[in-house]
Structure 1
Amino acid sequence: MDQNLDQNESDDYQDQEEELDDNMFDDPEDFVDDITDEELMDDMLAQRPEEDTSLDNIIVVDNAPIVGPDRLSKLKGVLKKIFQRFGEIVTEFYPVNENNETKGYFFMEFATHDEAVAAVNTGNGYRLDKSHIFAVYFFTDFEKYETLPTEWSPPKKEEYKEKGNLWSWLLNPDCHDQYSVIHNAGATVSVFTNTNTEPKLVMTRENWTDTYVRWSPQGTYLATFHKQGIALWGAEDFKRLGRFSHTGVSLIDFSPDERYLVTFRKALQENDSESLVIWDIKTGAKKRSFAASDATDWPIIKWSHDGKYFARLSADRLSVYETSTFYMLDKKSIVVPSIKDFSWSPTDNTIAYWVPEIGQIPAKVTLIEIPSRNEIRTKNLFLVQDCRMQWHKQGDYLCVKINRWATKSKKNLTYTFEIFRMRQALIPVDTIEMKDQPILSFGLEPYGTKFAVLHGEPPGRISFSCYELSHKGAGSSISRIKTMERKPTNQIFWCPKGKFLVLAGLKGMDGQLEFYDAESSEFILMQSSEHGMATDLEWDPTGRYVVTSVSFWSQKMDTGFIVWSFQGRQLYKNPVTLDKFCQLLWRPRPLTLLSAEDIKNIKKNSKKYHHQFDAQDRLGREKASQVIIDKRRKMMDEFSRFRHRKAQEFETAKRPTDYVEPELDEESDFEDLFILENEETEELT
């Protein structure tokens, strides 16, 4: 019985203790908790996903390989390598079935929504292999498709968005062209309007591009490079007109009609089918993609002059595609064993390609018409080491530079040019032999019949030769009209309109420039100039101006550019504000709407407008001179006011009114007094 009482007392004590413990942790009735969760767990709450945005960062990838546990880790490594190019992968999930095999789809969450968008746009349609082509969607798409209304309703008409005048720069009353400049070591891009005296700033932006910029062939768009892809800009204020997501893009190209954009990135893995992509510029749609291991021979895709066809090389094949369907022409490629290179005519749907020697079969250059694929000319060549093709701007000639072995033992090289006359019956071919003189540069005159070549051993034995490609009726001939020896140049630059050329010593030479009038057979030297250490030269679209430049990308000292007239007169240098200059590109002009007859009449009657143009040029120079004078006078006035103000401040602070002359000790020498005065003056100042 005593034991029962002890047990009861123990139970009562335990109940009282539990009740006491509960009461110890109870809050008073009037207690108010004013401590927030952020104060207690700020580090954990910072990682809390937001309900409105977290699902937008998740993608679903379908048509993935189905593998077991033994191959799952390898599959994860391959897939992660592909998709981490689009951004930071936060989490990934691979569902498995009852046999621990993957179900053929997986989930990935990116750090930002923009990275998920890039993964969907670029990853959708990615070919992992022949049996697995990814279908990539947003996770939120499933919810959207589940809640689709059962009754159809017509789509809302999209509001028209005004893009502005894409050719606004052509409305300049003085017909001044524009050019883009990359400076500040690549951090800043500016667009200027060119004048005879100094450039006028149109637009400047910091971090506009990650690498470089490029104009479209007709000057409508300015393309900039970014981590996620390409952006196109245009109109009066250079607003963004399009974005194309292609992570890691490094090279681009346009179709001649500016309808399509080609982007290239380094392949993520072997047979990456998304390394080369063709986009529709107007709609932003992806039209076709290809696998490309590298871009050594860029451009990989080459366009016909009208943009109706494009072609690319593959193993022993030349594949031609139609842009109307983006499928191969006649559903088959042109089989050409060991084909090396090809090129489209700039005015006709004609392709020229060459193949090297194969055993006893000679090398050859072949011309074929598209879409018929008819061979219209073939030229056999022997002992060929290499070929390089160049078309005349109007398609009148095809020039093929050939490096030949002098003997079958292949010890020494000789050099020849084969000139195909495209406008004559049966396309005759003329030959120019240069023998053992290496070719440094060559070029056909645009809108003309001249052919120029630099040949010889640099630096002191370089010669310049010019030939006339004349033809009368069915006959034709090539005659040398000029030869100049010991030229300090290594490149030829024809004016885009012909008649003038510049011989330049660039990249490793002293920057010597020689401006020639090539219209006459005498080849008149108009001006000799110099731009030390120049690395680049470019004509403007009209042929009135030439720019030479020293790029920061090539060397770090004395960077900048100089604008010259076509006669070799220096007009101006780059402004001092353009520090660490990198690149200058003239904005191209669209094709003229005038016929050949209209242009001929304008040239014939040009003397009628000669005095009018001279008067406008004089007036422009006078206005420019007055502007420069006013600018310098304003700067001088500002400097005078600044100097006067500083002089007054100096007189006021030089010696205060309560200054006491120090007593000179008899034993002190002149040096001690001088030190004392300096110390006091510095202290007062």
Structure 2
Amino acid sequence: MAEEKGETETRRSHKKSEMQNQDVEENGYEEEPDFSDPEGFVDDVTDEELLGDLLKSKPKESDGIDSVIVVDNVPQVGAERLEKLQNVIRKIFLKFGRIVTEHYPKQDGVTKGYIFLEYSSPLHAQEAVKTANNYKLDKHHTFAVNLFSDFDRYTNIPDEWEPPEVQPYKDTGNLRSWLMDPDCSDQYSVIYDAGEKTAIFFNTPQEAKLVEERARWTETYVRWSPKGTYLATFHQKGIALWGGEKFKQIMRFMHQGVQLIDFSPCERYVVTFSPLPDNREDPQAIIIWDVRTGHKKRGFHCENQSTWPIFKWSPDGQYFARLGQDCISIYETPSFGMLEKKSLKIQGVRDFTWSPTDNMIAYWVPEQQNVPCRVTLIEIPSRKELCIKNLFSVADCKMHWQKNGDYLCMKVDRYSKAKKVEEKEQWKYSGMYYNFELFRIREKQIPVDKVECKDVIHAFAWEPTGSKFAFIHGESPRISVSFYNIKPAGKVELIKTLEKRQANHLFWSPMGQFVVVAGLRNMSGVMEFVDTSDVTVMAQTEHFMATDVEWDPTGRYVASAVSWWGHKVDNAYWIWSFQGRLLQKQTLDRFCQFLWRPRPPSLLTPEMIKEIKKNMKKYATQFELKDRMSQSKASKEIIDRRRKAIEEFTQYKKDKAAEFKEGKQRRLELRNGIDTDEIHSHVENFEEETIEFLIKVEEKILEDE
């Protein structure tokens, strides 16, 4: 009946429409349209389809709860001190977001010691809980901050505990497999063909051995993690980490438009940066990720900082810090909250660095009115000041730590003379000079030495594992390289100065003693290999228009490169010995980037290393023959042929032994059950016999002098 009724209504509707059209044609006018729904009409269009954008902003019951925080351990005050308390609370909590309402419960005119604050967004409330919890207001009051919704969650905890679901184990392989190479060869990555191809090679003596090559592996460039465990590649949607023997994907991090990354020294965290427009509610410009889980730990705004890395890590990865306006903000892991819930307030701070081995920060503050420039060393997390050095007439400072953290050099640019121009009430400077303030960190009270130089300084570098340093100074064509040493007694002495050099970069070997003095880019790629034990030049050579020089992690090899990114012709990389002997020339079409794969710290103790150096001659003889044979292709072919023959003979011996064992039952049957194998047990054991024979005889006549 319902279907018949529906069909009737449809026919009526069509009939009505035809009659209306007929009236329009005959009379020239149209009846007022009827917009009412026909009988039995069913509207199947939902409100979400029509008003989706509007309904998204519809308040939900949970919105108010999730935006409310409860602050406990607040001072209990009366009406006369309530306004002052409210101003203090607002100053602390307004920096997390806009506060909509605030409520101070009272009893007998005195606050109860806890308050309720409602933010305009749940994200602001979460940030307040993360940062302000355990905030120390004074010695008697430390805030305990929680979300209001947490109280309901904690009261509804089930009585029976359910264990979490076990996640399947993902075998990533041996992430340090390259260290198992029998010849102890190092790996390096190469990008060529204008970035279209990326390859990994083993640095073998004769020619590079390809490990892996892929097209469009990265969209820009690659980066190794500090210990060489991971290879990071860049993509429009984020970062991918690769590792293991076959370079399988270990983890990926979704960060749209990412351009820069930085690893923590412990390789536990990675920091990514994207210049795309940021979200004020949920910071996306800088994100810190957990490498093992792939989870986002925290996001930060960029705040117009132009230097990278914005965050600087402590050597153990326990802390990281960034430079702010008149402050240094120090954060701790794994909570990623600010250390002691407050930044380090330093008026006018210009720059800071971490010690490479200790949780210690060095920072400097420029001159302000009549206050001199100040260099300060502080200990973290205690914030104890270890050393303060005042400097005068300072234009700029640069900080250089020695790799072992034994020394800190402050390169100071200073005004030579100054006189006050009375009519302008300003200081007028007639020239510049430079000096190095050398802090001896390991000695009592951290004494400071000074080395002065009137020439312009182009480069400075510490010997990584020693007490020497070198710097390039002067104007072309009178550029010099000076080498200094810090004696145990504290005296800084000049070892030697190499004059009239074409140089603008210094590259120390990771093991110390050897240094490459190079003139890159506009100096045509001139390179000098220097032994600093007596400051002798071992080799003078040139890689024309070289743009990069990099030591391998062992200090045995040096790579020089002409990158397509810096120079459009002659793109190639060359590999040299530490003494400056050219070993390989690798020319690749539109070669872009060369990077050695870092090695993790050695497992050998200092005592073990000392013992190895003591017996170096004994170990050296084990490798000299192998090195000599590997120097020629013919020797390599002989070695391969002999190895193949030994493998074939070994397999033949195993097959015959198995065949002999299988025939034992047959031998017993033929010999009436007598086991003759015991009598001839040496046959079963296949004892080997060494046979020596004469190949040739050489005669050499020795004449008396």
TM-score norm. by structure 1 comes to 0.69
Structure 1 segment 448-463 matched on structure 2, within 5 A? 448-458=466-476, 460-463=477-480
Give the aligned residue type for 2:472.
Answer: L
Counterpart residue identity of residue 563, structure 1: I
* 1:444 alignment counterpart: 462
The structure 2 residue matched to 1:331, chosen from 341, 357, 378, is: 341
Paired position in structure 1 for 2:576: 564
Quote the Cα distance in structure 1 between the aligned partners of 2:165 and 2:385: 53
- Residue 505 in 1 paired to residue 519 in 2? yes
Q: Is the 8 A contact 1:350 1:370 kept in 2?
A: yes
Structure 2 residue 532 is the aligned partner of structure 1 residue 518: yes
What amino acid is aligned across from residue 226 of structure 1 in structure 2?
A: H
Residue aligned with 2:479, SS: strand
In the other structure, the counterpart of 1:95 is 54
- The one-letter code matched in structure 1 to 2:624 is D
- Is residue 568 of structure 2 the alignment partner of residue 553 of structure 1? no
Counterparts of 2:314 and 2:165, CA distance in 1: 39
Contact 1:390 1:398 in 2 (8 A): yes
Q: 1:264 to 1:553 in 2, by over 3 A?
A: same
Please report how far the alpha carbon of residue 103 of structure 1 lies from its aligned counterpart in structure 2 after TM superposition. 5.1
Could you say which residue in structure 2 is the equivalent of 1:83?
A: none
Asked whether the equivalents of residues 259 and 281 of structure 1 are also in contact (C-alpha less than 8 Å), the reply is yes
| Structure 2 residue aligned with 1:607 | 617
Give the drift of 1:308: 1.0
Change in 2 beyond 3 A, CA 1:188/1:478? same
Match of 2:260 among 234, 240, 251: 251
Match of 1:299 in 2: 309
Residue by residue over 1:410-440, the C-alpha shift from the partner in whole angstroms, topping out at 9 and shown as x without a partner, is 34221110000001111110001002x1111
Measure, in 1, the Cα distance between the counterparts of 2:545 and 2:161: 69
2:436 aligned with 1:417, yes or no? yes
Q: Which letter maps to 1:257? A: C
Q: Does 1:200 align with 2:198?
A: no
Q: Structure 1 residues 158 and 456 mapped into 2: Cα distance closer, same or farther (>3 Å)?
A: same
Report matched runs for 1:51-200 at 5 Å.
Answer: 93-96=52-55, 131-132=120-121, 156-200=165-209
Kept in 2, the 8 Å contact 1:450–1:466? The answer is yes
Q: Secondary structure at the match of 2:629?
A: helix
Shift, 1:229, TM fit: 0.6
Amino acid at match of 1:614: E
Structure 1 154/490 Cα, relative in aligned 2: closer, same or farther at 3 Å?
closer
Residue in 1 aligned with 2:409? 399
Q: 1:628 to 1:182 in 2, by over 3 A?
A: farther
Deviation at 1:481, TM superposition (A): 1.0
Aligned-residue offset at 1:104: 8.5
Matched, 1:537 2:549: yes
- Mark the CA change 1:394 to 1:629 in structure 2 (over 3 Å): closer, same or farther: closer
Residue pair 1:305, 1:349 contacting (<8 A) in 2 also: yes
Pairing 1:226–2:238 present: no
Amino acid at match of 1:95: L
Per-residue displacement from partner, 1:246-273 (whole Å, max 9, x unpaired)? 1111110001110000111115148572
**Residue 480 in 1 paired to residue 515 in 2?**
no
- Contact 2:629/2:635, CA 8 A, preserved across alignment: no
* Counterpart contact for 2:278–2:301, Cα < 8 Å: no
Q: Say if 1:455 and 1:464, in contact at 8 Å, map to a contact too.
A: yes
Could you say if the C-alpha distance between residues 133 and 225 of structure 1 is closer, same or farther in structure 2, counting changes exceeding 3 Å?
farther
Distance of 1:181 and 1:295 partners within structure 2 = 31
Distance across 2 between alignment mates of 1:529 and 1:320? 46
SS at match of 2:266: coil
Aligned residue runs from structure 1 range 610-621, under 5 A = 610-621=620-631
Determine if contact 2:630/2:636 at 8 Å carries over to the other structure. no
Task: Identify the residue that residue 429 of structure 1 maps to in structure 2.
Answer: 448
Query: 1:570: Cα distance to partner?
Result: 0.3
Do the aligned residues in 2 keep the contact of 1:441 with 1:490 (CA within 8 Å)? yes
Among 369, 386, 389, which residue is 1:359 paired with?
369
SS at match of 1:330: helix
Counterpart for residue 488 of structure 2: 471
Q: Secondary structure at the match of 1:619?
A: helix
The answer to whether the 8 A contact 1:94-1:102 is kept is no
Deviation by residue 1:157-197 (Cα, 9 ceiling, x = unmatched): 32212110000000000000000000000111100000122
Alignment coverage as a number of residue pairs = 497
Report the CA distance shift for 1:206/1:465 in structure 2 as closer, same or farther (over 3 A). Answer: same
TM-superposed deviation, 1:312:
1.1
Q: CA deviation at 1:102?
A: 5.9
SS of equivalent to 1:185: coil
Distance 1:444 1:370 in 2: 24
CA, structure 1 residues 182+95, in 2 after alignment: closer, same or farther (shift >3 Å)? same
Looking at structure 2, the residues matched to 245 and 625 of structure 1 have their Cα atoms a distance apart, in angstroms, of 51
Say if 1:545 and 1:565, in contact at 8 Å, map to a contact too.
yes
Could you tell me how far apart the structure 1 residues matched to 2:639 and 2:274 are? 51
Kindly indicate whether the alpha-carbon contact (under 8 Å) linking 2:278 and 2:285 is maintained by their aligned counterparts in 1: no
How many Å apart are 1:616 and its aligned residue?
2.1
User: Which amino acid counterpart does residue 435 of structure 2 have in structure 1?
Assistant: T
> Residues of 2 paired with 1:201 and 1:349: CA distance?
40
Give the unaligned 5+ runs of structure 1: 1-17, 19-59, 61-90, 106-126, 136-150, 631-685
Name the counterpart of 2:662.
Answer: none
- Structure 2: how far apart are the matches of 1:628 and 1:401? 57
Aligned to 1:655: none
Change (3 A) 1:548 1:190: same
Q: Deviations over 1:310-350 (max 9, x none)?
A: 11111111111111321111111110011111111111111
Q: Percent identity?
A: 53
Contact 1:319 1:334 in 2 (8 A): yes
Shift in Å, 1:620: 1.9
Query: In 2 relative to 1, CA 309–452 (structure 1 residues): closer, same or farther, beyond 3 Å?
Result: same
Tell me by how many angstroms 1:396 deviates. 0.6
Partner residue of 1:4?
none
Question: Which deviations, in whole Å up to 9, do the C-alpha atoms of 1:5-57 show, x marking residues without a partner?
Answer: xxxxxxxxxxxxx9xxxxxxxxxxxxxxxxxxxxxxxxxxxxxxxxxxxxxxx
Aligned counterparts of 1:525 and 1:224: Cα–Cα separation in 2: 39
* 2:353 alignment counterpart: 343
CA distance in 1, matches of 2:379, 2:162: 50
Deviation at 1:93, TM superposition (A): 4.2
Report Cα offsets for 1:89-147 as digits up to 9, x if no partner. xx9941259xxx76589xxxxxxxxxxxxxxxxxxxxx998844669xxxxxxxxxxxx
Q: What RMSD in Å do the two structures reach over aligned CA positions?
A: 2.8
Task: Describe the SS at the equivalent of 2:185.
Answer: coil
Shift of 1:628: 13
Question: What SS is found at the alignment partner of 1:613?
Answer: helix
> 3-state DSSP class of the match of 1:457?
coil
Q: Read off the aligned partner of 2:181 and give its amino acid letter.
A: N
Answer whether contact 1:454 1:465 (CA < 8 A) is retained. yes
Contact 2:415 2:433 in 1 (8 A): yes
Task: From 395, 408, 426, give the equivalent of 1:385.
Answer: 395
Structure 1 counterpart of 2:156: none
Structure 1 residues 161 and 562, CA, compared in 2 at 3 Å: closer, same or farther? Answer: same
Deviations 1:474-517 (A, max 9, x none): xx101111011110111111101101001101011111111011
Cα distance in structure 1, aligned partners of 2:238 and 2:564: 25
Distance 2:548 2:606 in 1: 32
* CA distances 1:613-641 after superposition (whole Å, capped 9, x unpaired): 222211222357656999xxxxxxxxxxx
Write the distance in 1 (CA, Å) between the matches of 2:60 and 2:54.
8
Residues 266 and 294, structure 1, Cα contact 8 Å, conserved in 2: no
